[in-house]
Structure 1
Amino acid sequence: MRRTAHELKVINGAERTPKRPKKSAVAGTVPQAETLKPPDFLDAIAKREFRRVAALMAASGSLCALDLALLSTYAVAFSRWKQAESELRNLSLTVRSKTNVEFQRPLIGIANSAARVMNAAAKELGLTPTARRTLGIVPSEPSDAADRYF
């Protein structure tokens, strides 16, 4: 009689059992959004975004003390993206070199790079619809019946 792959794993001791996440005193701490101070190295735009997102995360119960560095990364990327996009609004998307070769303006690369970092951090923090669904974060129901349609 041939043994199945599962039976062989059990015999050899190679079967993996799912591990439960360990509860930690640090990981379980939920800082209050009102008392949470943005790091000093953030500029004004990043500090404003840090406070905004921290308040939203605290309200949903998903803010953890271990996420503060990632939240800072998100806020810095948001600030760079916003500054680059603001400057690009009044400029053309391309520039010409001395030899009359047209190429993409460097600000576009800065904006794209910041957007990639911002989106990656947003997914990790549970700020995207897919991440919220995966983490089981349910948005609050509208208070008025008519609000469901708007």
Structure 2
Amino acid sequence: MAGRKPKPTIIKQLSGNPGKRRLNKSEPSFSAGATCPKHLDKVAKAEWKRIAADLTTSGLLTSVDRSALAAYCVAFSRWIKAEELLEREGLVIVSPKSGYAMPHPAVSISNTAMTLMHKFASEFGFTPSSRSRINVAAPTKTKADPLDAFFDLNTNDDEGLRQ
């Protein structure tokens, strides 16, 4: 299919529907959030934890997005590992067969991982240009928390505490 791929309805809604085109009312909806897959390594899990909460709060992560975010996290982990290897061993190695200098294989691994990360990052709105097209409303509280009222510093009773 030629042309641009369509934006998901949630992205259009968060952007304020700038094209003012009809939104797909029949688009499937899925439960919010996703759990971190157990097969991810330590670096990938740390990246998942770093970004999943923000994506869920923004409404950009649902249960069916789990594999796409996991793929991003795996690419992130490979990129980190390749960069660490390049830091230790350098960008150039000597070919064992010919004896000539050649790029370290980790350069290709790093570049491929960065390309994949960028593709997934654009899908989730991680890049500055993709993020600039999304307007996220502040999350609304569904239930009043009594502690918020107790610690609210905007009342007149605590004027003496503010300085």
Q: What is the TM-score normalised by the length of structure 1?
A: 0.69
Report the Cα distance in structure 1 between the residues aligned to 2:47 and 2:137, rounded to whole angstroms: 22
Equivalent residue in structure 2 for 1:49, among 34, 47, 51: 47
Helix, strand or coil: the match of 2:55? helix
For structure 2, the 5+ residue unaligned runs are 1-20, 139-163
Match of 1:64 among 59, 62, 65: 62
Compared CA separation, residues 104 and 62, structure 1 to 2 (3 A): same
Distance change in 2, residues 1:116/1:138 (3 Å): farther
Answer 1 or 2: higher relative contact order, Cα 8 Å, separation at least 6.
Answer: 2
Q: Which residue of 2 aligns with 1:22?
A: 25
* Conserved? CA contact 2:94–2:101, under 8 Å: yes
1:115 and 2:118 correspond = no
Q: Structure 1 residues 138 and 102, CA, compared in 2 at 3 Å: closer, same or farther? A: farther
Runs of 4+ in 1 over 4 A off after TM superposition: none
CA displacement, residues 78-101 of structure 1 (integer Å, 9 cap, x when unaligned): 000001111111112111123221
Aligned amino acid, residue 20 of structure 1:
L
1:38 to 36, 39, 59: 36
SS in 2 for 1:95: strand
Separation in structure 2 between the aligned mates of residue 138 and residue 93 of structure 1, nearest angstrom? 45
Identity of aligned residues (%): 33
User: After alignment, is 110-119 or 39-48 more displaced?
Assistant: 39-48
Asked if residue 95 in structure 1 is aligned to residue 97 in structure 2, the reply is no
Shift of 1:56: 1.7
Report if aligned partners of 2:75, 2:113 keep a CA contact under 8 Å in 1. yes
2:161 aligned partner: none
Q: Which residue of 2 aligns with 1:6?
A: none
Normalising by structure 2, what TM-score?
0.64
Does the CA contact (< 8 Å) of 2:35 and 2:66 recur in 1? no
Quick one: distance in 1 between partners of 2:111 and 2:36? 25
Cα 1:105–1:55 shift into 2, 3 Å: same
- Change in 2 beyond 3 A, CA 1:65/1:135: farther
Flag structure 1 segments of 5+ consecutive residues without an equivalent: 1-17, 140-150
| 2: CA distance, partners of 1:138 / 1:129 | 18
